[in-house]
């Protein structure tokens, strides 16, 4: 199926800007250009949502987390711990707000986003360790943040989906508090190199780009078959939180999210996946289609049910 026409037109219109971003020699400039493009898709935090940034120590450094809370939300409130995408190489707290959208207002809940250190300067395991540090910080400070530690979901987009799934393995095996849901949007779950198709179509995320980003994260010394790098390859996917997975028909990563659900089910876990037709990698985040409206509504509904313990009856 062809791309949704509004997305098709947008991809064509942004082709020159996307090419310039890919070809930018300076990584910081590439990050700046990518973030500037991403925030154009923002629809805002929602009414009366208050933001506060915090610094937390990690292995001789500091990372930021951002807490979004709707005004008047009663404490202790449920929370979504969110991990942004960007191929482990791009993205920040501002792009995270575009990706998670107005979930704080829509659910409603507290949203805590983590700004993990990026590859290639900080390859695996640093980004995952930062995400785990942010998750521990949330629980250690739940009372002060007005969060109910028994109602915390974890979620992420793209590379953030990978980090979310890996974090769930760390949480299970490390005895950390179990999330009520893992929310995975267009996740990359197997970082072994993808085959490059002949006449690879430009526009949207390509296998070539995925391999570049994955290489940045895996680094020279990493093993893409490590289950904390490629959660799909884990021997044991039992005793994990229920999963809500959204994949795109035209995304090279589509099959990975669906296979992950199949393996979760085989391990006795709960979960559901939605395949979005006529869309590429994460393009439902762009607010110019009906898909944008409906995908975020379903995502919010999944969180509400998980927080109310009515997702699986």
**More confident position, 3 or 273:** 273
Q: Smallest Cα–Cα separation from 184: which of 280, 258, 95?
A: 258
133 pLDDT above the threshold of 80: yes
pLDDT of residue 198: 83
pLDDT single digits (tens) 265-276 = 999 999 999 999
Q: Smallest Cα–Cα separation from 84: which of 70, 63, 56, 105?
A: 63
Residue 232: its H or E element: none
pLDDT of residue 203: 63
Confidence of residue 313 (pLDDT cuts 50, 70, 90): confident
pLDDT of residue 12: 74
158 pLDDT above the threshold of 80: yes
* Distance between CA atoms of residues 110 and 78, nearest Å: 6
pLDDT of residue 47: 86
Instruction: Give 112: exposed, middle or buried? Use CB within 10 Å, 0-12, 13-18, 19+.
Output: buried
Full set of structural domains in the chain with CATH: 5-307 (3.40.50.1820)
- The answer to whether 292 touches 286, Cβ cutoff 8 Å, is yes
pLDDT of residue 24: 64
Q: Is the dihedral of CA 146, 155, 223, 116 positive or negative?
A: negative
Structure tokens at 50: 């208050």
pLDDT of residue 300: 98
92 pLDDT above the threshold of 90: yes
pLDDT of residue 18: 63
Q: Is 88 helix (H, G, I), strand (E, B) or coil?
A: coil
pLDDT single digits (tens) 188-223 = 999 999 999 987 766 678 999 999 999 999 999 999
Overall pTM surpassing 0.85 (yes/no): yes
Q: Residue 201: CB partners within 8 Å, gap ≥ 6?
A: none
For residue 76, say if its preceding peptide bond is cis, omega within 30 degrees of 0.
yes
Confidence of residue 165 (pLDDT cuts 50, 70, 90): very high
pLDDT of residue 17: 62
* Distance between CA atoms of residues 273 and 143, nearest Å: 33
Confidence of residue 135 (pLDDT cuts 50, 70, 90): very high
Mean pLDDT, all residues of the chain: 94
pLDDT single digits (tens) 7-27 = 888 777 766 666 666 666 689
pLDDT single digits (tens) 223-253 = 999 999 999 999 999 999 999 999 999 999 9
* Distance between CA atoms of residues 20 and 125, nearest Å: 30
């Amino acid at each position: 199926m062809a791309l949704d026409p509004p997305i098709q037109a947008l991809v064509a219109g942004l082709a020159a800007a996307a090419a310039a971003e890919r070809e930018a020699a300076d990584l910081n400039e590439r990050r700046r250009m990518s973030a500037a493009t991403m925030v154009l898709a923002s629809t805002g935090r929602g009414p009366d949502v208050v933001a506060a940034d915090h610094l937390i120590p990690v292995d001789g450094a500091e990372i930021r987390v951002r807490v979004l809370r709707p005004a008047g939300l009663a404490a202790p409130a449920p929370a979504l711990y969110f991990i942004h995408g960007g191929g482990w190489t791009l993205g920040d707290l501002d792009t995270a707000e575009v990706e998670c959208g107005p979930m704080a207002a829509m659910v409603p809940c507290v949203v805590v986003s983590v700004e993990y250190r990026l590859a290639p300067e900080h390859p695996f395991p640093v980004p995952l360790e930062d995400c785990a540090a942010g998750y521990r910080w949330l629980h250690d400070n739940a009372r002060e943040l007005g969060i109910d530690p028994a109602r915390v979901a974890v979620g992420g987009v793209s590379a953030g989906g990978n980090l979310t799934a890996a974090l769930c393995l760390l949480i299970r095996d490390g005895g950390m508090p179990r999330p009520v849901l893992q929310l995975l949007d267009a996740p990359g779950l197997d970082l072994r190199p993808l085959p490059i198709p002949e006449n690879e179509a430009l526009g949207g995320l390509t296998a070539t780009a995925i391999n570049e980003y994955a290489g940045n994260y895996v680094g020279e010394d990493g093993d893409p078959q490590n289950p904390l790098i490629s959660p799909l390859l884990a021997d044991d996917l039992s005793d994990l939180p229920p999963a809500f997975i959204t994949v795109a028909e035209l995304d090279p990563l589509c099959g990975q999210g669906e296979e992950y659900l199949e393996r979760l089910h085989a391990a006795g876990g709960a979960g559901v996946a939605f395949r979005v037709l006529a869309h590429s990698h994460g393009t439902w985040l762009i607010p110019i289609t009906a898909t944008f409206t409906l995908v975020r509504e379903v995502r919010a509904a999944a969180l509400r049910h998980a927080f109310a313990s009515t997702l699986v009856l």
